Structure 1
Amino acid sequence: MKNLNRIGLEIEKSNELVGQLSDLLSNYSVFYQNVRGYHWNIKGDNFFELHIKFEELYDDLVLKIDEIAERILTLGSEPENRYSVYLSQSVIKEATDLTNGKVAVQDILDSFKVLLIKQRTIMDFADEMGDEGTNALMSDYIREQEKLIWMYSAYLKQ
């Protein structure tokens, strides 16, 4: 029992999972800020449509950021809050072209791909260690994001 954390999971494996979730938190945080930038700065023919879609997306992302941080706390660790650390860890980089709708949507698709790969890895590891809470969270995110990829791809006619 000494090698188990307060929710009954192995401490060593939980710490490894926290590392993966921390990396995911960094990627989500940079992605969130990129989408906020698209929302604020989008221009062109599809302004009204994309402005609303980007707001819907960043509202969802901020909820996921909070859930990931709370999962890290549940596993017995503390989530990182420094943006400088997020930027150094994240595969998703800060967006620079914030006004072009097609570029923004393609960047969103690329960012979802990064998140999906990371989430599947986390889900598999959580499953191996018997962590249904993290597993269910990742499964929900994957299902939602796969549908969003279909929708954003349809917008780009891909």
Structure 2
Amino acid sequence: MSNLNKIGLDKTKSKELETKLNELLANYSVFYQNTRGYHWNIKGDDFFELHLKFEELYNDLLVKIDEVAERILTLGYSPNHRYSGYIEESDITESKQVSDGKTAVHEILDAFTTIITLQREILELSDEAGDEGTNALMSDYIREQEKEVWMYSSYVDNN
């Protein structure tokens, strides 16, 4: 029993999950701030539509950031919280000031590819660890985000 954490998961596997979840947290945090920038700086014919869509996205990302951090805490670890660390660890790069809707949507689609790929890795690890809590979280995120990819892709395919 000494190899189990407080929620009954193998400590070694939980540590692997913590590392990947902190990586996800870094990517989500950079994605969130990029999306705030798109929301603030968008211009053009699709301003009203995209301004609202970007606000919807960053509000969703904020919830997910909190849920991922709390999952790390549930596993018995501390979530990273420094933006300097996020920038170093994230595969999503900081966006330059983007005011063009199509450019912003392409960057969002690239970010979703990064996020979904990482979540699939976490899903595999959580399955191996018997960590249903992390598994359910990742499954829900992937399902939601695949739909978002379809919707954003439909926008750029028509513009």
TM-score, normalisation: structure 1: 0.99
Once the two structures are superposed, what CA deviation does each residue of 1:127-147 show, in whole Å capped at 9, x if it has no partner? 011000000000000000000
CA distance in 1, matches of 2:87, 2:99: 22
Q: Which runs of 4+ in 1 moved over 6 A?
A: none
Contact 2:42–2:50 under 8 Å retained in 1: yes
Q: Deviations over 1:108-135 (max 9, x none)?
A: 0000000010000000110011000000
Post-superposition CA distance 1:33-85 (Å, at most 9, x none): 00000000100110000000000000000000000000000000000110000
Helix, strand or coil: the match of 2:7? coil
Matches within 5 A, 1:7-156: 7-156=7-156
User: Unaligned stretches of 5+ in structure 2?
Assistant: none
Provide the C-alpha distance between the structure 2 equivalents of 1:124 and 1:6, rounded to a whole number of angstroms.
21
Q: How far 1:157 moved relative to its partner?
A: 1.2
SS at structure 1 position matched to 2:157: coil
Q: Report percent identity of matched pairs.
A: 64
Tell me the residue number matched to 1:6: 6
Aligned length: 158
Deviation at 1:97, TM superposition (A): 3.9
Give unpaired runs (5+ residues) of structure 1: none
Q: Supply the AA of the counterpart residue of 2:31.
A: F
SS at match of 2:112: helix
Residue 127 of structure 2 contacts residue 135 of structure 2 at CA under 8 Å; is this kept in 1? yes
- Coordinate RMSD, CA, aligned: 0.7
| TM-score, reference length from structure 2 | 0.98
Report if the CA contact (8 A) 2:41-2:97 is conserved. Answer: no
Contact 1:97–1:104 (CA under 8 A) maintained in structure 2: no
Quote the offset at 1:21 in angstroms.
0.3
Matches of 2:140 and 2:99 in 1, distance apart? 31
